[in-house]
Amino acid sequence: MPAQESTMRLHLSGIRKEYPGCLANDDIELLVNAGETHALLGENGAGKSTLMKIIYGVIKPDAGKIVWQGEAIQMNGPAHARQLGIGMVFQHFSLFETLTVAENIALSLPADESRDMEALSERIREISTHYGMALDPDRHVHTLSVGAQQRVEIVRCLLQDIKLLILDEPTSVLTPQEVRELFRTLKTLAAEGCSILFISHKLDEVTELCNAATVLRNGRVTGRCNPQEVSSEDLARMMVGEDTPLNQNYQKAEGGETALSLNNLSFTPEDPFGVTLNNLNLKVKAGEILGIAGVAGNGQDELCALLSGEETTSPESIELLGQNIGAMSPDQRRRLGFAFVPEERLGRGAVPNMSLVENTLLSSSHRDLKANGWINYRKVREFARDIIEKYNVKCANEYAQAKSLSGGNLQKFIIGREIEQQPKLLVCSHPTWGVDIGAAILIRHALIQLRDEGAAIIVVSEDIDELYQISDRIGAICDGQLSPVKPTQDVGIETLGQWMAGQFGHDSANPSSLESAHA
């Protein structure tokens, strides 16, 4: 799409960045016009974040040209980028939780602008109201919801004379309602002529918001288009390549007998930053997948640790197939038919420096792989080979170190290891997080198959699309409390969003009261 020099805000060409053993960006061309909302699409590891960091001056490209407002420049770091009018909101916020909103913003401003805190607060109020994202400058950051913290980051960028705002997967931490508010803000900004570079892998968001897109795959540009004009299918095709099936619809299941029940489960973690679980009640049936949605850090980690036995509680508050298991160790629970796929696959689900054979043993030692304290490595090796073959794990061989596998392949291995133990209850935390689409499909398929064989499955995830796709019943967790759990087809995205924001009591709450529920 050719553009006149005058409207061209940023033009990258021939950008190349190589890390040891990985070509993150290769001959990338990117063109952003004034007032354009430009999507940068791609799967995890496609090179999006690297490219953004190059634009924001965090890293220097090995080769390539950056033209800013018609002038070839050499980016000398984030301060230089800010000077030029480029702002960036990272996925992980850089805010001091113990300071107020105004203090946090003052920290990023030049000294002469931050001296007068009164005036600064006034400006923050003015700008945040103007863009429809009200902020109280005197509030301490740790009292804000995640959505509000993100607004602090955005306002911080807007205080400067901003011409290009970069947002790195901004919606991944937000509830659907908060996403909508964010989009309103971004549209106002774009209407005023600010260019926006929006990184995402969520196609519906891109279609809603953006009027230009560049698609990356394996560090190269694989397509350019206007998301308003092409279908989501086409966009997805550009992201994943020709040979991957895109979507599958699974039959919903009813489930049978209760496999797991939580009975008034409460838990106060030792970690002062952990989430206190408050009186959770839940029944999971054999032969169903129960999805638990929620924004990260609302008690998912604590719940998973309690289910797995990494944390223990009173025996009767967790009941597996009629047995009180709340106080049992992970090993004892596994003997009863429990299996667990943790969120961190390297450094919890698998030992990075150990081979796949040794990692096979990690959670399956009770399966007749040892006798009298001695390990039968021949059997372990056979089991490892079975998993590798059956789950299509790409690796040098069964003696490859876990850390040498890509995220998707390691996840296939871990899922395989847990499923092959034929569990009666499987808990998966973020099963396809950061995994390529091919592996994600295989993993979902394996979960459905296990369900059809009669296992109870709990999937904890932030990926709402995935939860809708595979869950038979769905609920949400917020601030250590569980929402009601209902059949997936009866729960609209609106309702789920409210649940994720902590509104369980009534089905029709107005979005404006969301903030109070969070605080």
Q: What's 416's DSSP letter?
A: H
User: Judged by CB, which is closer to other proteins: 121, or 421?
Assistant: 421
CB of 329 vs other proteins, minimal distance in Å? 5
User: Judged by CB, which is closer to other proteins: 273, or 374?
Assistant: 374
Residue 76, amino acid: N
CB of 414 vs other proteins, minimal distance in Å? 10
Residue 33, amino acid: N
Residue 374 in the binding site for other proteins (CB under 8 A) = yes
CB of 371 vs other proteins, minimal distance in Å? 9
Residue 497 in the binding site for other proteins (CB under 8 A) = no
CB of 340 vs other proteins, minimal distance in Å? 7
CB of 366 vs other proteins, minimal distance in Å? 10
User: Judged by CB, which is closer to other proteins: 272, or 373?
Assistant: 373
Long-range contacts of 494-502 (CB under 8 A, 24+ apart): 494/176, 496/176, 496/293, 496/464, 497/175, 497/176, 497/177, 498/177, 499/293, 499/475, 500/175, 500/176, 500/293, 500/294, 500/295, 500/476, 501/175, 501/177, 501/178, 502/478
Q: Which of 61, 337, 349, 423 binds other proteins (CB under 8 A)?
A: 349
Distances (CA, A) of 30 to 26, 62, 162, 220, 473: 12, 16, 19, 11, 43
CB of 12 vs other proteins, minimal distance in Å? 17
The values of phi and psi at residue 491, to 5°, are -110, 110
Residue 370 in the binding site for other proteins (CB under 8 A) = yes
Distances (CA, A) of 494 to 183, 327, 401, 499, 503: 16, 37, 44, 9, 11
CB of 124 vs other proteins, minimal distance in Å? 36
Residue 397 in the binding site for other proteins (CB under 8 A) = no
Q: Which of 272, 322, 373, 505 binds other proteins (CB under 8 A)?
A: 373
Q: Which of 377, 386, 469, 509 binds other proteins (CB under 8 A)?
A: 377
Q: Are 220 and 28 in contact (CB under 8 A)?
A: yes
CB of 344 vs other proteins, minimal distance in Å? 7
Stretch that binds other proteins, among 27-35, 105-113, 400-408, 504-512 (CB under 8 A): 400-408
Residue 58 in the binding site for other proteins (CB under 8 A) = no
Q: What's 330's DSSP letter?
A: H
Give the SS3 label for residue 260.
Answer: strand
User: Judged by CB, which is closer to other proteins: 14, or 347?
Assistant: 347
Q: Which of 286, 282, 283, 287 is nearest to 299 (CA)?
A: 282
Residue 12, amino acid: L
Per-residue contact flags (x/-) with other proteins for residues 404 to 423, judged by CB under 8 A: x-------------------
Question: How many helical (H) and strand (E) elements, i.e. helices and strands, does the chain have?
Answer: 18, 23
Q: Which of 44, 218, 365, 422 binds other proteins (CB under 8 A)?
A: 365
Per-residue contact flags (x/-) with other proteins for residues 302 to 331, judged by CB under 8 A: ------xxx------------------xxx
Stretch that binds other proteins, among 137-145, 266-274, 362-370, 389-397 (CB under 8 A): 362-370
Q: Which of 358, 418, 436, 463 binds other proteins (CB under 8 A)?
A: 358
Distances (CA, A) of 365 to 308, 368, 418: 16, 7, 12
Residue 248, amino acid: Q
HEC readout, 455-490 = CEEEEECCCHHHHHHHCCEEEEEECCEECCCEEHHH
CB of 281 vs other proteins, minimal distance in Å? 26
User: Judged by CB, which is closer to other proteins: 65, or 252?
Assistant: 65
Distances (CA, A) of 210 to 85, 108, 448, 478: 20, 28, 34, 30
Q: Which of 4, 74, 249, 510 binds other proteins (CB under 8 A)?
A: 74
Tell me the angle at which helices 377-390 and 356-364 cross, rounded to the nearest 10 degrees: 100
Residue 353 in the binding site for other proteins (CB under 8 A) = yes
Distance from first CA to last CA of the chain, Å, rounded?
45
Binding site for other proteins (CB under 8 A): 20-21, 74, 308-310, 329-334, 340, 342, 344, 347-354, 358, 361-363, 365, 370, 373-375, 377, 401, 403-404
